[in-house]
Amino acid sequence: MKRIVVLGAGYAGMRTVKKLTGMNVDAQIVLINKNPYHYQTTELHEVAAGTKEPADITFDIANTFAKKKNVQVLIDEVIRVDQNAKSIVLKNNAPIRYDYLVNALGFESETFGIPGASENGWPLIDIDTAMAARAHLENTLKRYKRSRDPNDLRIIVCGAGFTSIEYLGEIVYRMPKLAKKYGFPRNQVKIDCIEAGPKILGMFNQNLAQWAVRYLEKRGVTFHVSTPITEVRPNSVMSNDQEFPANTIIWTTGVHGSHVIADSGYEQKRNRVVVADDLRVAGQPDQFLIGDVSGVPNPENGRLYPTTAQISIAQADCVAENLVALMNGQPTKKFVFKALGTVCSLGPKAGIASIDMFGHWSLKGWIASVAKKFIADRAVLELGNIRTMLESD
Ligand code: NAD
């Protein structure tokens, strides 16, 4: 019997295994992941801000596939892929050989080599880092009552990408509760968002982007655009000679793929590998790369699609079909992606959305937060079958 090894139990890896089990594929499937749980990265900012708990966004991987006899879940850390030996080198177990490989190892925080960023910034990339950022912020806000240090009430969010904006939305929503809990003056909280580029939320039309910016500004956020961060100190962020002091620095300036990609000798850029049109790796007919470690060129403009849960799920569906095709000696199919839209939440009750389902819709306010639930639950989760797939059947 052939062995399919899937690396990573994020949206891409989980969906691949679920899809394969639904296709009654005649192969042993080994799913390898560092943690015993899957977490919904699209909701990590809520855990970081404290509006959700880890249990709300995590699912036990072994339970999910407990009834699938041909699926083995192995909890271990992947060190590298030995492409010549067709095996996976693991931290705690002996190497595992594969006939087919689906590499879906996901993302890590990007620091662009900026001095002090990894030492002094709090990234939001997984449950542990989200909880660490939350504990640091709450301890710092709590300390103000004793310290009276204004920097204890200052928060800097680095970068103004999706993660930053969604985190800002949650944190301004939660701030009144935190002020009450820890007895600090809410009107003295200062939140700065520092962005290198000239625009905030440039992927939305100007009307929607401005609405979101004003929504956050009204709730105490100050945006600084065209302000590249050049250094992160223990209690401040530098943009060339300009210093922004704060005792909480959230590091959300972007992500790159897993370091395992570079360690395994793939031809890559920021640990992303540009894949062939059937999602295989050039020169490696038995390997697929999907999710945040892969780069898929958009045929309309030649640029790589942004990494999202939506595209990861669509890739997983394509890979499952292509694996079955390969095992049956049939040709693989091309990956075609149709984005359903983009939603950016601003706390639990507001957001902006640009949706391409049943026409084109530009939404803002509470209706966009409903749309996020709809896109998240219906498109990302139900259409992608994540929610369904995470419940044992
Ligand atoms: P991102 O790359 O989208 O945004 C990072 C931001 O940080 C950019 O605006 C960049 O200009 C800025 N930046 C980088 N270096 C800087 C510096 N030195 N100084 C100041 N600013 C700097 O990263 P992200 O927000 O972590 O998102 C990662 C991926 O996940 C993206 O592809 C994103 O589309 C996706 N995502 C999507 C959603 C959603 O669809 N709702 C939510 C979260 C993440």
Each residue's pLDDT tens digit, 123-145: 999 999 999 999 999 999 999 99
Token representation of residue 253 = 């300036």
Are residues 155 and 222 located together in one domain of the fold?
Answer: yes
Token representation of residue 306 = 């942004």
Are residues 88 and 192 located together in one domain of the fold?
Answer: no
Would you state the pLDDT for residue 383? 37
307 C-beta closer than 6 A to ligand 1: yes
Closest atom of ligand 1 to CA, residue 344: 41
Residue identified by tokens 């704060």 is: 246
Are residues 244 and 123 located together in one domain of the fold?
Answer: yes
Task: Encode pLDDT of 232-242 as tens digits.
Answer: 999 999 999 99
255 C-beta closer than 6 A to ligand 1: yes
CATH number at 73 reads: 3.50.50.100
SS3 of residue 363 by DSSP: strand
Q: Check if 217 is active-site.
A: no
Domain boundary among 233, 251, 269: 251
State which residues form the domain around 210: 117-251
Please check whether residue 77 lies inside any domain of the structure.
yes
114 C-beta closer than 6 A to ligand 1: yes
Would you state the pLDDT for residue 393? 34
For ligand 1, atom 15, name the residue with the nearest CA. 253
157 C-beta closer than 6 A to ligand 1: no
Are residues 140 and 224 located together in one domain of the fold?
Answer: yes
What is the reported pTM? Answer: 0.93
Please check whether residue 391 lies inside any domain of the structure.
no
The stretches in the chain having pLDDT less than 50 are: 378-386, 388-393
Are residues 313 and 194 located together in one domain of the fold?
Answer: no
Number of helices followed by number of strands (H, E) in the chain: 12, 26
C-alpha 195 to ligand 1 mean position (Å): 10
Are residues 88 and 15 located together in one domain of the fold?
Answer: yes
- Catalytic residue among 43, 108, 166, 321, which? 166
Would you state the pLDDT for residue 379? 42
CATH number at 233 reads: 3.50.50.60
Are residues 267 and 326 located together in one domain of the fold?
Answer: yes
Amino acid at 169: G
Number of domains in the chain: 2
Would you state the pLDDT for residue 62? 93
Are residues 130 and 214 located together in one domain of the fold?
Answer: yes
Cβ-Cβ contacts under 8 Å for 208 (sequence gap 6 or more): 201, 352, 353, 354, 362, 364
Q: Determine how β-strand 341-345 pairs with β-strand 351-356.
A: antiparallel
Domain boundary among 251, 270, 288: 251
Residue-level length of the chain? 393
Token representation of residue 216 = 């956050």
Are residues 124 and 245 located together in one domain of the fold?
Answer: yes
Q: How far is CA 108 from the centre of its chain?
A: 9
Sign of CA dihedral 383, 385, 391, 393: positive
Closest atom of ligand 1 to CA, residue 200: 9
Are residues 285 and 220 located together in one domain of the fold?
Answer: no
Cβ-Cβ contacts under 8 Å for 16 (sequence gap 6 or more): 6, 102, 104, 290, 316, 319, 320
Please check whether residue 392 lies inside any domain of the structure.
no
Would you state the pLDDT for residue 354? 86
Would you state the pLDDT for residue 240? 97
Domain boundary among 197, 221, 251: 251
Token representation of residue 309 = 């849960």
Are residues 148 and 232 located together in one domain of the fold?
Answer: yes
Cross-strand bridge partners of residue 74: 32
Mutation choice for ligand 1 from 162, 293, 377, CB with most ligand atoms inside 8 A:
162
Task: Encode pLDDT of 47-60 as tens digits.
Answer: 999 999 999 989 89
Would you state the pLDDT for residue 374? 60
Distance from C-alpha of 322 to C-alpha of 314, rounded to nearest angstrom: 13
